[in-house]
Amino acid sequence: MQKRKLGNSNLEVSALGLGCMGMTSGYGSAADKQEMIALIRKAVELGVTFFDTAEAYGPYINEQLVGEALAPLKSRVVIATKFGFDIDLNTGERRNAVNSRPEHVKMVAEASLKRLGVDAIDLFYQHRVDPSVPIEDVAGAVKELIQEGKVKHFGLSEAGAQTIRRAHTVQPVTAVQSEYSLWWRGPESELLPTLEELGIGFVCFSPLGAGFLTGTIDQNTRFDKSDFRTMVPRFSPEAMKSNIALVDLVRDVAIRKGTTPAQIALAWLLVQKPWIVPIPGTTKLHRLEENLGAVKVQLTINDLEEINTAASRITLKGARLPESALKMTGL
């Protein structure tokens, strides 16, 4: 597996990471725990060194799963987790609010360390910006955790350019995480130039458009009632009927290159910048192997021009997130 450094930091990770959220939440019922432990360990065997989790996934059970799965492999991997939602640390009740007060951030760090079974959190993201807490205070809290040896690197998720700049002056930001793919190219206008200027790495979640770019979903697909895509405007049957044109484009390129749509979508991301690291999630071994095969796909300049030109003619319908969730992002 190829390696990449996240920006100007010394944090080196596999070119493709593994997003673990869907193993316990988000896409319907939780998968079998032992099967997911086996999958995570197989990912390490295949060269993945970067794993993404969060206290909010579950809450808590995803961190516990990742911690147990990687317990014998801790020296070989980088684990990223997140703070920032208002979750009762005793009951696990998740309220519909954010909480990045410095004292809460530090309590979350202590709890995450225990669940993950590590001495230090490799990459600690603010999951969502808290408008009631100055980002300088949040960065200061993480800086103290770094000085105490409990955290190694600071990250931000779904933050806007100015928030990133302000945080970076207090504690250097190693990585910013946000959605990015052919399905959602919002970061290209302001976020990516800002990260390049500051020397910050970019971690892409939903690099396959929450499954849409794999070509396995269309307007006839029906999701489990607990699947977050039931609330996403872009996944309404009407929107998908229109948006399938993007999948057709990716599929055509894949057929010509002898690969799969998922591999083309991931390969396209990998060639955008050398400091971009996608973290596709899956609960299936064959999908894991398929995704990792994207690092071997070579897209030529002509391929990229064809994809970008054709994609520019497609008008995608529907927002990428529900309105309530969009209000919590800085993009």
Residues near 322 by beta carbon (within 8 Å), at least 6 away in sequence: 231, 232, 233
Beta-bridge partners for 203? 177, 277
- Are 161 and 192 within 8 A, CB to CB? no
pLDDT at 93 (0 to 100): 82
Q: Over its length of 331 residues, how does the chain's per-residue pLDDT go in tens digits?
A: 999 999 999 999 999 999 999 999 989 889 999 999 999 999 999 999 999 999 999 899 999 999 999 999 999 999 999 999 999 877 888 777 999 999 999 999 999 999 999 999 999 999 999 999 999 999 999 999 999 999 999 999 999 999 999 999 999 999 999 999 999 999 999 999 999 999 999 999 999 999 999 999 988 999 999 999 999 999 999 999 999 999 999 999 999 999 999 999 999 999 999 999 999 999 999 999 999 999 999 999 999 999 999 999 999 999 999 888 888 888 7
Cβ–Cβ contacts within 10 Å for residue 272, how many? Answer: 17
* Sign of the CA dihedral with 88 first, then 93, 95, and 98 last: positive
Structure tokens at 80: 């990223």
Distance between CA atoms of residues 329 and 185, nearest Å: 15
Q: Give, to the nearest 10 degrees, the angle between helix 237-257 and helix 301-312.
A: 160
Structure tokens at 76: 């070989």
* Sign of the CA dihedral with 141 first, then 18, 323, and 246 last: positive
Catalytic residue ranges: 57
Distance between CA atoms of residues 59 and 42, nearest Å: 24
CATH top-level class of 3-326: alpha beta
Domain boundaries, the chain: 3-326
Distance between CA atoms of residues 29 and 211, nearest Å: 16
Distance between CA atoms of residues 72 and 69, nearest Å: 8
- Are 213 and 261 within 8 A, CB to CB? yes
In order of 26, 55, 69, 205, the CA distances from 29 in angstroms are 8, 18, 19, 20
Helix (H) or strand (E) holding 165: helix 161-170
Bond into 59 cis (ω within 30): yes
Distance between CA atoms of residues 263 and 102, nearest Å: 41
Predicted structure pTM score: 0.96
Per-residue DSSP letter, 293: G
> Dihedral of the CA atoms 231, 236, 240, 243 (nearest 10)?
-70
Please report the DSSP string for 55-84 in residue order. TTTTTTHHHHHHHHHHGGGGGG-EEEEEE-
Q: Give, to the nearest 10 degrees, the angle between helix 237-257 and helix 261-270.
A: 80
In order of 185, 225, 283, the CA distances from 254 in angstroms are 20, 32, 23
Distance between CA atoms of residues 177 and 279, nearest Å: 10
In order of 53, 295, 310, the CA distances from 131 in angstroms are 23, 38, 39
Structure tokens at 150: 């409990």
Biggest CA–CA distance in the chain, Å, is 55
